[in-house]
Chains A and B, each alone.
Chain A
Amino acid sequence: MRIYVCIKHVPDTAARITILGKNRIDERVTFIMNPYDENAVEEATGIKRDVGDAEVIAVTLGSQAAEATLQSALAMGADRGILIKTEDHPDSMITAAALKAAIESDGKPDLIFTGKESIDSEGFQTMYRLAAGFSIPAASNVVSFSLESDSAVVECEMEGGSREVIAMSLPCVIGAGKSLNKPNYPTLPDIMKARKKEIKHVDLKDLGFEKPAGRIEALELKPAVEDRQPKEITGTPDEVAVKIVRILKEEARVLHD
């Protein structure tokens, strides 16, 4: 069984975001594996432990620096890695086409895992484009997964805590949600072993795929500006409560008589 996991090298949430030029960020900050991709890798390696005869291949699109995130996936139990190298930041349409081309030229996928969204570009779409490219089903925000003989049965979290229970034929694409599992953090021996595992390098421009029919262009990136002026509410609890009710009624206009 061949399980591909698409992962992304992203700036840490606590990292300072400094805009360079019109639409790029200063990448000299700490980068990590996209948090939801950790759940994806964990699930894939878990299936491998259950099934036995399976290979987990981590795939990422990024610069040479992204190899660090592939190393993390290998340390978590992935067998091999594929780095689609580019200095650019292509949009979801190109990314999905590139992932498809790289996976296809590597082998026939039985399952494709990815995180449900990336915490940097927050596009919410790459996995669906990848699935459409392969003409296979997809489900995202998956919080429960089970493999049957010829299908995957997943639970997707929806509003109010409700869950859609979905069955998909194989192969399919699964977008991992946070509650899917608890990622195991690699031990030092895992990390050392990972250094010996194979990482294949492919240049984005060498991958043959059709130019996508559309494009999402990043025109400008600006820092989010905070313009709140905090004001203190003082008094006894009851006095404070009276003031809050007045603010809710008169200023926020969310309370009415």
Chain B
Amino acid sequence: MQKIGILIETKNGEIKKTNFGVITAARGDNRELYAFLLDEIRGDQKELLPSYGVHKIVEIKSGDKPIDYNPASWSQAVIQAMVHFGIDSLLGLADLKGQNLIPRIAAGLNAALVMDCSAVDLAGHTVKKSQFSGRAIATLKTEGDYHIYGIRPNAIEAASTPCQAENVSFQAEIQEDGLTVKEIKPGDSHGVDLTEADIILSGGRGLENSDNFRILFECAEKMGAAVGASRVAVDEGWVPHTMQVGQTGKTVSPKVYMACGISGSVQHFAGMKTAAMIIVVNKDPEAAIMKHCDYFVIADLFEIIPALTTRLKTATTSEAKKKLKDSNG
């Protein structure tokens, strides 16, 4: 029976839904899945884990209390849990939080690691990931005593396979190691997170100024979508860098990426080329992005997007409905 560990990421007491794809990737014959929880979550949330195939829900604590967030302490705790339970393979989300935890765990264990995997063959210790800013796909194999993989969010589709799960508690012994978290400054997160959104509405040079992004925000709100931007919009100061999609911004893999007024540089493309569907709205029929999309509209975004917002008022996504329910509930 092979034991696989999964580092679960939570937010506001809930399990981020991108975890379920990771759990799905971990499943297989003769495997026992251990979900590592370092945060407290709501009772009803815990039940989601066995519905995707988790066998053991491990609450990692220290002195019987959750460990205050500190990437170095949390990594130490996961390493201790892996050693304690005899787990040689660990999967987690290669999002910003995971990028701050998973490599620390690999470094501490002297374990082979591949981050940002888009496909995983656990039995063969072989994974696929993008390299050269999305211009190539590499097949990599990990060797050694441990195998650690950070999975690109939404790269692997979640599929539920219910099973029985047991709650287990693990006490870690945290050592001081020179890193302290002084505070977490909250961001001005305008709604849905880019790396988790099913739909991203993105703006580039064609938006012309900061105020015009309001048009995208209004449309996005109707769809429960996140709003992104190209490097041009960020460099011009129209939107903050946190909204940038692309090589020096965020890499996203949504179900739908709508690019408005974006010409489509190689660097921008590197950040969104794995979107399941790309829709382009641009006045310029020669824009590079026109050749690399699923649907294109050669028109003025200032006419198309407001028209879309109007049409969307009569349709709501499950995401928007849920937000409505959460804010009322």
Binding site for B on A (CB under 8 A): 11, 13-14, 17, 19, 23, 25, 35-36, 91-93, 96, 119-125, 128-129, 131-132, 136-141, 153, 155-169, 172, 178-179, 212-224, 226, 228-234, 237-238, 240-242, 244-245, 247-249, 251-257
> Are the CB atoms of A241 and B242 closer together than 8 Å?
no
Chain B residues within an 8 Å CB radius of A248:
199, 223, 256
Question: Nearest residue in B to A14 (C-beta to C-beta)?
Answer: B266
> Are the CB atoms of A240 and B187 closer together than 8 Å?
no
Nearest Cβ in chain A — how far from B147, in angstroms?
Answer: 8
With A226-B292, A233-B296 in contact, is A155–B185 under 8 Å at CB?
yes
Chain B residues within an 8 Å CB radius of A96:
107
Alpha-carbon distance A91/B137, docked complex (angstroms) = 16
Chain B residues within an 8 Å CB radius of A139:
179
Q: Is the interface of A mostly helix, strand, loop or mixed?
A: mixed
> Are the CB atoms of B181 and A165 closer together than 8 Å?
yes
Interface range for B: 35 or more
- Kindly identify which residue among A129, A141, A153 contacts B107, using a CB–CB cutoff of 8 Å: A129
Shortest Cβ-Cβ A-B pairs, 4 listed: A214-B144, A161-B187, A160-B189, A214-B112
Chain B stretch 285-329: residues in CB contact (< 8 A) with chain A: 290-299, 303-304, 306-308, 310-312, 315-318, 321
Nearest Cβ in chain A — how far from B124, in angstroms?
Answer: 10
Nearest Cβ in chain A — how far from B161, in angstroms?
Answer: 21
Alpha-carbon distance A164/B290, docked complex (angstroms) = 39
Chain B residues within an 8 Å CB radius of A251:
277
Chain A residues within an 8 Å CB radius of B145:
213-214
Binding site for A on B (CB under 8 A): 71-72, 94-97, 99-100, 103-104, 106-108, 110-116, 126, 129-146, 150, 177-189, 193, 195, 198-199, 223, 240-242, 247-249, 255-256, 266-267, 270, 273, 276-280, 290-299, 303-304, 306-308, 310-312, 315-318, 321
Alpha-carbon distance A252/B256, docked complex (angstroms) = 7
Chain B residues within an 8 Å CB radius of A123:
113-115
> Are the CB atoms of A241 and B139 closer together than 8 Å?
no
> Are the CB atoms of A162 and B185 closer together than 8 Å?
yes
> Are the CB atoms of A231 and B103 closer together than 8 Å?
no
With A165-B183, A217-B141, A254-B198 in contact, is A233–B297 under 8 Å at CB?
yes
